[in-house]
Amino acid sequence: MTNKEKINMLEEILELDEGALKEDTVLKDLEEWTSMAALSLIVLMDEEFGKKLTGKQIKEFMTVADILEQMN
């Protein structure tokens, strides 16, 4: 899966238009980056990538690239 495909998945869970996110997008600058988005990310990571995320890991994410790194 390409980074573009992964970013598209993130845009979908954040309910953003395609192309709205870039790897250097700062998460705290997004008003859509809420606790509900974090829960959706946890589910996405589990279902699509078989990875378990903790709250601590999510709090450490600063940019979209940080999330993409966990998806690998």
| CATH number, domain with residue 18 | 1.10.1200.10
Instruction: Please give the Cα distance from 39 to 61 (Å, whole number).
Output: 14
| Domain count along the chain | 1
The share of the chain scoring above pLDDT 90, in percent, equals: 96
Write out pLDDT tens, residues 5-64: 999 999 999 999 999 999 999 999 999 999 999 999 999 999 999 999 998 999 999 999
Instruction: Please give the Cα distance from 5 to 11 (Å, whole number).
Output: 10
List strand residue ranges (DSSP E) for the chain, in order.
none
Q: Which domain holds residue 56?
A: 3-71
Write out pLDDT tens, residues 42-58: 999 999 999 999 989 99
